Amino acid sequence: MKVALMDLDYTLVDIRKPDLFENLVSDILKQTFSRTVTKEQAHEIVRGNSAYLVQEGIKNEFWKRFDLETPETRRCAIQNKVMRAMPGAHRLLSELKARDYYIALVTNAPEYSAKVAIDNLYLAGYFSAFSFSEGELIKPHEEPALRALRGAHNIESIFFLGDSGYDIGCGKRLSTAIGIPVTTIYLEHGKTGNPHGADFVVTKLDEVLELLEKGKI
């Protein structure tokens, strides 16, 4: 069985409004907790880095509020065409499904938030498994990927596609945990090269199809 593990936001889902979730983080912190953060701090929080929240003693309260508000933020963004399936996402997923890949979503987003996107953007039907945020262990820890693999058997190969160091790190740690090589693919959005040491760097999803056609994944 060949396995494809994939991130959600900025990988399969294109968020065309810059800093959509970062702005939500900043607004919640300012309005509810009277805290002000930089754009970089907000970005790290969106990625699941809770260091600042722990330091301020507001981690659990913040995430409860954030998780409550993200589903509606997603719905509004989809309705306003700010959030859409990433160009090439359906082509890639369709081809992988046609080749009998076990396709699993691995996201740090909670289920009730992520499902707003995957259901309304017609992505859900491609997947064999879903791994949403559960408890303390999130990417880059390997546990979310291990959950996604529970239904996979006789694994021949695995690739992990994502747009951040959390995804690439998760893929690498997964490889160590299960003793099987995991090919990591970094989807770069105008950033700088290959900062996370991925096996491949692509700038669009059609380039993943090219890797597939060439037998590199």
Q: Is residue 119 located within the same domain as residue 27?
A: no
Q: Is residue 103 located within the same domain as residue 172?
A: yes
What span, in angstroms and rounded, lies between the C-alpha atoms of 146 and 134? 12
Which residues 6+ apart lie within 8 Å of 91 measured at CB?
205, 206, 209
Structural domains counted in the chain: 2
pLDDT per position in the chain (217 positions), as tens? 999 999 999 999 998 777 899 999 999 999 999 999 999 999 889 887 889 999 999 999 999 999 899 999 999 999 999 999 999 999 999 999 999 999 999 999 889 999 999 999 999 999 999 999 877 788 999 999 999 999 999 999 999 999 999 999 999 999 999 999 999 999 998 767 888 999 999 999 999 999 999 999 9
What span, in angstroms and rounded, lies between the C-alpha atoms of 176 and 182? 9
Q: Is residue 71 located within the same domain as residue 174?
A: no
Domain boundary among 42, 58, 79: 79
What span, in angstroms and rounded, lies between the C-alpha atoms of 86 and 59? 31
What span, in angstroms and rounded, lies between the C-alpha atoms of 162 and 90? 16
User: Structural domain of residue 51, as residue ranges?
Assistant: 20-79
Q: Is residue 136 located within the same domain as residue 181?
A: yes
